[in-house]
Amino acid sequence: MLKSDNMHIIEKDGVVFLRFKALDNISFVNMAVSTRIGGVSKGDELGTLNLGTSTSDSMENIVKNYEIFSSVAGFTAENIVTTKQTHNTNILVATKNDAGKGVYKERDYESIDAIVTNEPNLPIAIHSADCIPVTIIDVKNKAIGSAHCGWRGTFDELASLTYKKMQELYNTQDAICLIGPGICKECYEVSFDLYEKFMDKFGYINAIVNENGKYYLDLPLINKHILEEQGLTDIIISDLCTSCNKEYLYSHRGLGPKRGIMATITEIKNTAYAKCP
């Protein structure tokens, strides 16, 4: 079974999902990370709880999985807003009009890898299967932002751009950042060309490794440093690697291109009726 020091591993009604322990005392936010376990999808690589619409899975299965996951994690499935990820730096400012887009409604936007909002009961979802999910929570002004940071998003500093967008729109200053499960440095071997690209820009960070002629990137740590340079200090990196835990989490490196996709979903709760188990 999964083991983590900084995330709760929750099993409910056969569904396994994750919550950061750091949010235990932040009552206005509901945030949960899905795993491979507890849905209706079929296939060794696809797992059962696939939440990615860009996979080979049927839309019927995907919608059912969103309903199953939402029922145990405390979201309203029909309200979830999803990205249209293409490894870019475009940010959607989500409103109530976007509720359900990507799963229950057609998206009227393309190429979105980050979402911000300050509207309650509007869960925002980003997807990953090794890439780094970065979530920023404004604990004073009650706003949230999530960014999908693969190597391209990391190199282009999408996490920083998301934070800046929240500063611009919501006057975000007092924030906590949660860097969710993604591929760890030891599992993320890259080409020499990509190594050089990151060394040229981020070589001052001890997160780019040349070891015995092999090259590795620590994407979670690079994203942490990027946000620290913007003044964020309360940053937590999940201790769960997707590739190391491919029996439970989706990993492109570990399972191949036919794998399913995890979702990190975050919501500002309306405390009048929102439920968070």
Q: 154-182, pLDDT tens digit by residue?
A: 999 999 999 999 999 999 998 999 999 99
Residue 271: the pLDDT is 53
Q: By CB neighbour count within 10 A (0-12 exposed, 13-18 middle, 19+ buried), where does 81 fall? A: buried
- Strands 214-217 and 208-211 turn out to be antiparallel
Q: Which two tokens stand for residue 145?
A: 């932002």
| Mean pLDDT score of the chain | 95
Name which of 58, 191, 168, 69 is nearest 125 in CA terms: 69
pLDDT, tens digit, 9 for 90 and up, residues 206-232 = 999 999 999 999 999 999 999 999 999
pTM of the model: 0.95
Residue 1: the pLDDT is 83
The owner of tokens 């950042």 is: 177
Radius of gyration of the chain from Cα atoms? 17
Residue 270: the pLDDT is 79
Q: In angstroms, rounded to a whole number, what is the distance separating the alpha carbons of residues 88 and 262? A: 19
Label each residue of the chain as H, E or C. CCCCCCEEEEEECCEEEEEEHHHCCCCCEEEEEECCCCCCCCCCCCCCCCCCCCCCCCHHHHHHHHHHHHHHHCCCHHHCEECECCCCCCEEECCHHHCCECCCECCCCCCECEEEECCECCCEEEEECCCEEEEEEECCCCEEEEEEECHHHHHCCHHHHHHHHHHHHHCCCCEEEEECCECCHHHCEECHHHHHHHHHHHCCCCCEEEECCEEEECHHHHHHHHHHCCCCCEEEECCCECCCCCCCCCCHHHHCCCCCCEEEEEEECCCCCCCCC
